[in-house]
Structure 1
Amino acid sequence: MSTAEVKESLNLQKLMNEGLVFEVNTNELDEAGKPTDEDVEYSKNLLKYLNLEVAGGDIGAEDTYVEGQPFEKIAAKMFNLYGNGKIKKRVLREGYGQKPPNMSIVRVHYNAYLEYQGEPFDSTYARKKMHQFTLNNGEVLVGLDVAVQSMKLDEKSQFIIQPEYAYGRFGCLDRVPGNSEVLFEVELLEIVDSGAAATFQKLPEDQQKEFQHVYEYCLALCAKGKDIFGKNIQGAIKEYNTAVSKLEHCVLENMSDQEKQQELLMRLYTNLLVCYTKTEEPRKGCINFNKIRDLVKGTELKIPPKCYFNNAKCLRMLGEFELAKKRLNVAYRAEPKNPDVLNLMLNLEEDIRKTRREQAERSRAMLGMK
């Protein structure tokens, strides 16, 4: 056994011995005992990711049922990735670049299936939210951890994982029975090398302007800012602003670079808007909102509702109540049942009424003086 294989085996054993955390979406109930709107939408979205091949049908004909075990037929198209076939892999779309380094942060989308069940029992696509975790850190299923370590950026692959590397003999709540094989369809969307920031500082000055180096560095800064946000918001602001400065002045070579730059700048501007709203620095918050507006012009990017909401809060702090109301109305149209939006709307209406009363009183006082 090679040194790399020994290290991989030890890491895997560590994960299995120390346990792991892996959440499967379950329908939560609101205070009235009914599913929340978010859960209802999630359940509807699951139908978009039906997999007839997993259910035992023919992908090309919905009414056709193929005899035999679905996972066995899918596995025949796969190769052994780990543990003498305990984890099998099939590449659906080739990726590019290097595989993610040990202990790097990855962001993935996935659908997870049980045999004979076409609807996924868990789906980040249906939740419309990528899943982020650190490799070799015991944060997800062992099989999923090993699977993602084998992938390249932008790769999309299927993995059949045996129970001992999935949910084991106990399963998971009422969604996954004990001793179940599972199939994960995974898309690796982002890799953040935790050592990228340190590496960047050692690069020659001319290379520090090259997009790929800048992008990896800024991804690391963005991840660090997110990690410390709850404990040190000023520290998070510093990381985000450093990343913005580097990204805004890097050298872009093609359209792909520009799209990746815009996507990350959108995330950074949004994070800064949230930070400055929380620290009650409304002018700085508005500056970042205006940067977001300029960024999306002529692109397919859209401003998230939370940006309009936070900009409305900043404008309210500045006494710009009417403009704040316009911004908030956009957030309301997108999320009409969001309690934070509704509460701010009430407060803004009261602010506007109070301002009008004060203006009327001043006008009456001036007329009385004459």
Structure 2
Amino acid sequence: MEIVILVVVIAVIVLGAVSGLVISGRKKKALKTEESATPTSTTTAPTEPQLGEEAEGAPEAPRRTIEEVGLPEAEAEAPVIEEPAAPAEPEIETPEPSAGRLVRLRARLSRSQNSLGKGLLTLLSREHLDEDTWEEIEDTLLTADVGVAPTQDLVERLRERVRVLGTRTPQDLRALLREELLTLVGTDMDRTVHTETRGAVDRPGVALVVGVNGTGKTTTTGKLARVLVADGKSVVLAAADTFRAAAADQLETWGKRVGARTVRGPEGGDPASVAFDAVKQGTEAGADVVLIDTAGRLHTKTGLMDELGKVKRVVEKQGPVDEVLLVLDATTGQNGLVQARVFAEVVDITGIVLTKLDGTAKGGIVVAVQRELGVPVKLVGLGEGADDLAPFEPEAFVDALVGDE
């Protein structure tokens, strides 16, 4: 009997233990399920709001009428930035014919040279021409930069002819003075600007323009292009002054005004190379003339003068240079002769261009420079206008000196 009771007790204990284990396992499983379904606020980042969540718990705002709803302002249009217009090409001009220009500009020349002609006529009109009077005549000529030797020659001829003439009327004196001044200036010199090809027939004529800084050399080159175009020639310009930044632009502007091509190189480049290319391009284009503007050089700078000689030598590889024009400022007077001598030694000057002749009373420089170099004055500048460069005509020049009867 005791055994039976013992077995029942053991069975009850075993059953209770099994039931406890089952209940404990269910509680643990339920706890794990709950923990996995409920996120903790301290370790998990908030999730993105889902559809409908934003409206939950938010009171609905009163709706506005259509009149209360403002339309969105139109976006301001971005300002239109206009591209800068390219500078208009200058219209091609028809230059004034070169023939007779000096006659048309005679009034301008007369104003500047009036003191020379009138001074001489006044002195020669004196009743008694004593030594003091002749000295005054000499001083008048020297002041006008005629030069010592030409002045002495002129005074001697005047003294002889006045002595032979005897009674002198104003008309006689004017005719006498005109004749002697013409002899002094020279009427038998070739004043043509030679732009015709010499030697090789398959290239244009070549003119080299040289001179000291400040004489108006680049402007003169541009004006000379106008003279040639007016005479029916096609022109190519060579901007071989590569050391002055504005020189090439200035020359190109002159060229565009008359339809002339300008050949240029890099700033500070080799001038001889630019000159060579210009002659080559002029030949290919069938141009009549190539004008080469060189850098203005101080005649005291030996190296720069040597470079000028190089430009001429390089150009001559394609044929001879037909004209070498030295530009001189008439207002510099006798100082211009010093410059002329040095240039003549380097590049063999064939003609003179006198600029600013309307701005000086020293027209005698025409005589002096011709006597010094043995080459003629071929062109004169008589103003700032585009067509104020004129072929030099001795008769018109002397007429401007002595005035009208």
TM over 0.5: no
TM-score (norm 2): 0.26
Q: Highest relative contact order (Cα 8 Å, sep 6+), 1 or 2? A: 2
- The structure with the larger Rg is 2
